[in-house]
Amino acid sequence: MSYIEEQLATNIPSSLGARDFMIERLILRDNTIELLRQNGKSQQVEDELLSLAKCECNTGNIFEPTKCKCRAREAHFLVAQFYYDTIQYLKAWQWYSQIKDVDLRALYQLAVMCFEEVSPPECKPGYGVQQAEEKAESWWLLAASDDKNQALMEAMTALAFFYSRKYSNFYNMTKAFEWHYKAAKKGSLESLGAVGSMYLFGLGTKQSLDRAVNYLRDAAERGNVYAMGLLTYCYYTKKLYTKATDLAQKLICLDNVEELSRATCCLPQYIKKGIALSAFVLGRCYELGNGIKPDSKQALKYYRQCFKFDADICSLLQDYVAHQKI
């Protein structure tokens, strides 16, 4: 596995890196805060949620998570989520903690808070980043475990990213692949693209171009532009030049990255990477006359387009060409 392959493969999920995955969720949270601020109903929402969280299962009105069968249990999660979204971390931590043994989503969120290092000081599992990450890992593992068939897809994807962080003590691509694989089966779009690219480059698993095509095609059909870019590269590697150029021609016409980003919930930089990849593949096809009439002017045009969309991808692929791998 070369450096170049690794660079292409680790920029995966829809296509997000471990940190980006969390950042995407932070962006969603910012939107919630903005919405609450705009309509000035923050207090009202809080009051309503709190009243819903009153348990009516027994006369004492005492909430016992394992026994409660009324709406209060779901309301507890919503209250916690409200505090998390509005950056009231101590309260969020307390409300998630109350239901962490009966609600995997709460467990998942506690793990996220550990990982993001926003757990309140008095609730810190240890003293350093290492301890916080260990705690996050153990909670995500619980939330992602399979018994009772309620395992959380988000926890599986989070674990996969957690193990993909190259310079952490937890780096383990075999585990990353396993969890992406499980999450993809459960329907995670991020993991679907990730599994495809890991098969493509033999990262954390045995290389298989056929399997890569299957997974990337599924992810591409669901709107993952980075997966589409990798798919053109995959077709090119398999010498399916007509398929590669057909798909690349479609991709290079995409230009409204911001709009696409909102429509597909993918980060703009990965959309650009997908377009850059396909522009380079198309340029290479024009240069060598693979599946298309050779035309050096067109080749240059698409190499430039690749550079315009993502200079890093462009220089990586130029290295690839220099090593005669593409």
**In the complex, which residues of this chain contact Zn ion (CB under 5 A)?**
55, 57, 68, 70, 72
Half-sphere exposure of 54 (CA within 13 A, CB side): 8
3-state secondary structure of 280: helix
Of 50 and 70, nearer to Zn ion (C-beta) is 70
- Least distance (Å) from Zn ion to the CB of residue 76? 10
- Least distance (Å) from Zn ion to the CB of residue 72? 4
**Token pair belonging to 288:** 């060598």
Q: Give the span between the Cα atoms of 320 and 304, in whole angstroms.
A: 16
Of 79 and 314, nearer to Zn ion (C-beta) is 79
- Least distance (Å) from Zn ion to the CB of residue 57? 3
Cα of 166 vs its chain's centroid, Å:
16
Please give the helix or strand (H or E) that residue 24 lies within, else none.
helix 18-39
Please give the helix or strand (H or E) that residue 321 lies within, else none.
helix 311-322
Of 55 and 225, nearer to Zn ion (C-beta) is 55
CA-based nearest residue to 16, from 278, 255, 258, 192: 192
Q: Are 76 and 61 in contact (CB under 8 A)?
A: no
- Least distance (Å) from Zn ion to the CB of residue 224? 41
- Least distance (Å) from Zn ion to the CB of residue 110? 22
Q: Give the span between the Cα atoms of 66 and 73, in whole angstroms.
A: 9
Of 67 and 185, nearer to Zn ion (C-beta) is 67
Of 72 and 248, nearer to Zn ion (C-beta) is 72
